[in-house]
Amino acid sequence: MRALILLGLVGLAAQLVDGSLGMAYGVTSTTLLLAIGTNAAAASATVHLAEIGTTLASGISHWRFGNVDWKVVAKIGVPGAVGAFAGATFLSSLSTEVAAPVMSIILLTLGVYILIRFTAFGLPRSNLGKPLRRRFLAPLGLVAGFVDATGGGGWGPVGTPAILASGRLAPRKVIGSVDASEFLVAIAASIGFFVGIGSENINFAWVAVLLLGGVIAAPIAAWLVRHIPPRVLGSAVGGVIVLTNVRTLLRSDWIDAPGGVQATAYIVIAAIWIAAIVYSVREYRRDKERESVEAVEAELAARRTEETTPA
């Protein structure tokens, strides 16, 4: 029962992060399942089954708050489903000994990317309003879907930063559209896992509690996306993913590092993680102060213009 409650809380927290940041539900949930010894393919299958419900709830919530561009959903979602099915069948064909470290490497890479991306650069906001073309979104969806299924997460970490980097869609609409399109990816990946490993290796109680936590959090996250600082959240989540997957790799048969090496690695990563969060908070505050100053200067300039304009 304690494990089920913990998984429910993880599902809730992961969806709060995913719905606010446009990524990390699958990465966070799969990381925990791997950490407690779940088979790699079964962990990804469990998360994707839960995501069928959480992504539907999240997509509806984002739609109600006006955060979804349905043209983007269609252009990226269908190729994403194709890539997810292919990734699920590929992962199902790997042995457990190979699959777990491979998944941890993918998750670690995504965690490092999230940590660096949001700590160093925040969210780009140039080129807003320009159209996102199919020749960009279709290959992106295909790759993101494949990575998502093989890594137990990755749709958001691959898709969201790429679309944000284009600067052609408002951040809240990027997050809402990526979350909504993930519904198709979750369905396709789940079908792929059923074909590859069947249902006997999937714990449906885990699926249910992850789903329940995610559904509760979905509307809250859709509202938070307008208020929470993504830069700080991205740094915090990236650090969790990096630390947990480094732990998995250091304890794997591939490396089997001594206890002293493990402890040193954890301390170094924790120090970098704390520094990243502190830096993100400081930069976020600087950005807010800069925006306030610019707003005041713009208002003063407008008043001067009004005063000098003849009646």
pLDDT digits (tens, 9 = 90+) for 36-92: 666 666 777 777 777 787 778 778 877 887 888 888 888 888 999 999 898 888 877
Report whether 122 contacts 283 (CB < 8 A): yes
Percent of the chain surpassing pLDDT 90: 5
Q: Which residue has the higher pLDDT, 100 or 73?
A: 73
Residues 6+ apart with CB under 8 A from 56: 183
| Overall residue count recorded for the chain in this entry | 311
Percent of the chain surpassing pLDDT 70: 68
Q: Please, what is the end-to-end C-alpha distance for the chain in angstroms?
A: 75
How far is the C-alpha of 56 from the C-alpha of 91, rounded, in Å? 24
Report whether 98 contacts 215 (CB < 8 A): no
Q: What is the mean pLDDT of residues 293-310?
A: 72
How far is the C-alpha of 17 from the C-alpha of 222, rounded, in Å? 10
Mean of the per-residue pLDDT values for the chain?
Answer: 76
Which pLDDT tens digit goes with each residue over 191-230?
A: 887 777 666 666 677 777 777 777 777 677 666 656 667 6
Which of 148, 26, 42, 156 has its CA nearest to residue 99? Answer: 42
pTM reported for the whole predicted model: 0.62
Report whether 244 contacts 115 (CB < 8 A): no
Banded pLDDT at 100 (limits 50, 70, 90):
low
Distances (CA, A) of 180 to 52, 53, 144, 175: 11, 11, 14, 9
Q: How many other CB atoms are found less than 10 A from the CB of residue 167?
A: 17
* pLDDT attached to residue 1: 62
How far is the C-alpha of 66 from the C-alpha of 60, rounded, in Å? 10
Domain hosting residue 191, numbered range: 2-308
* pLDDT attached to residue 278: 92
Report whether 80 contacts 186 (CB < 8 A): no
Which pLDDT tens digit goes with each residue over 267-288?
A: 999 999 999 989 988 988 888 8
Backbone angles phi, psi at 67, to 5 degrees: -100, 10
* pLDDT attached to residue 45: 76
How far is the C-alpha of 205 from the C-alpha of 213, rounded, in Å? 13
Report whether 160 contacts 178 (CB < 8 A): yes
* pLDDT attached to residue 60: 83
CA atoms within 13 Å, Cβ hemisphere of 220: 11
Q: What is the mean pLDDT of residues 139-159?
A: 79
Q: What is the mean pLDDT of residues 95-124?
A: 72
Sign of the dihedral through C-alpha 190, 188, 103, 96: positive
C-alpha 181 chain-centroid distance: 13
Which pLDDT tens digit goes with each residue over 174-194?
A: 778 888 888 888 888 888 877
Domain count, the chain: 1
Place of tokens 């990575």: 147
